[in-house]
Amino acid sequence: MPKKHSSKDQKQDSRTYLIRIHGDGGQFMVGRVPEKYAKFWAHRNPNELRVHVESRGDGRLGDDEVYESPDISRNVRLALPEEIANIFNDLLVYGDARIHLQEVQLLPNNQLPIIVGDPIVLALPAGKKRRVVLDYKLTRRGSKVKKSAQMTPVLSAIYRVSGDILRGSITTKTPFDPRLMTVNMVNTSFGSLMIDFLYDGKVIPLIFHESGVKFDVNDMYVGWIKQSPSKRARQS
């Protein structure tokens, strides 16, 4: 006769929650360009800039290169934003995104986890839950730019995505508390976006999740920013 398994409750040392960020966002990039390049494009149509950069001079989008434009670097006439993003390059999420959490019980030998309880859906409120940690909002389009060593001419771009953008997990010793969830923000010319998701003061490791993500239009601007901190990159 087989032995009966005990149903005694055991103390749970930790809880694991799978997390996914669903909403709109994009790969945001900032790279230095020559001063004359910024001055040339600062008062032109941003869509013309985008088409010019993406044409690459190979005729794929027609003959859309603006030949009067200064070169983007000493060795390159045309370059995509990701090729010159030496100031900032990271995937950011707009503030109206939803945060989905699901508690799971992890099993050994790569078995599928067991779902525990109901899913949790959060929409982070404004105010103290958000903290601006970087500012990449450009001075552009008619604004007077003071000559200063702290002002850097840049090409700023965002490749927009939509859907389940980021995924990861958090481990806690107590049940999830939404009051411990906070975010860090980045100000850009494309709006304010979230860069870090924190739980109990610790950044949650998240990776870009391509499945189910819809790619939308790309936007580009040229302008000036104050000298920024070192670049950051999220694992992809």
> Out of 6-20, 64-78, 117-131, 132-146, which region has the weakest mean confidence (pLDDT)?
6-20
Confirm if 132 and 194 have CB atoms less than 8 A apart.
no
pLDDT tens digit sequence for 122-162:
987 665 577 889 999 998 644 455 555 578 999 999 999 99
pLDDT score of 121: 93
CA–CA separation, 28 and 131 (whole Å): 18
Cα-Cα-Cα-Cα torsion 224, 225, 227, 233, nearest 10 degrees, comes to -120
Distance CA 51, CA 37 (A): 16
Residue 200 pLDDT > 70: yes
Instruction: Classify residue 121: in a domain, yes or no.
Output: yes
Question: Looking at the domain assignment, is residue 232 inside a domain?
Answer: no
What integer pLDDT is reported at residue 4 of this predicted model? Answer: 37
In whole angstroms, give the CA distance from residue 212 to residue 142.
40
pLDDT for residue 111 is more than 90: no
Euclidean distance between CA atoms 159 and 91, whole angstroms:
9
Long-range contacts of 139-143 (CB under 8 A, 24+ apart): 139/223, 139/224, 139/225, 140/42, 140/189, 140/221, 140/222, 140/223, 140/224, 141/42, 141/43, 141/223, 142/43
Structural domain includes residue 10: no
Indicate the pLDDT class of residue 3, thresholds 50, 70 and 90.
very low
CA-CA distances (angstroms) from residue 110 to 106, 161, 205?
Answer: 9, 30, 20
| Domain-embedded: residue 233 | no
Cβ neighbours of residue 187 closer than 8 Å, sequence gap 6 or more? 132, 134, 135, 136, 137
Out of 137-146, 158-167, 178-187, 202-211, least confident range:
137-146
Residue 231 lies in a domain: no
Residue 137, domain member (yes or no): yes
Please report the pLDDT score of residue 75 as a whole number: 83
Residue 152 inside a domain? The answer is yes
Looking at the predicted structure, is the pLDDT value of residue 100 above 70?
yes
Contacts with 66 (C-beta within 8 Å, 6 or more apart), sequence order: 48, 52
What type of residue sits at position 67?
Y
In a domain, 9, yes or no: no
Q: Which strand (E) or helix (H) includes residue 214?
A: strand 214-226
This prediction has a pTM of 0.82
222: β partners: 155
CA angle 126, 185, 29 (to 5 degrees): 145
Instruction: List the domain range (segments joined by +) for residue 168.
Output: 15-226
Total tally of structural domains belonging to the chain: 1
The Cα–Cα gap between 168 and 216 comes to 24
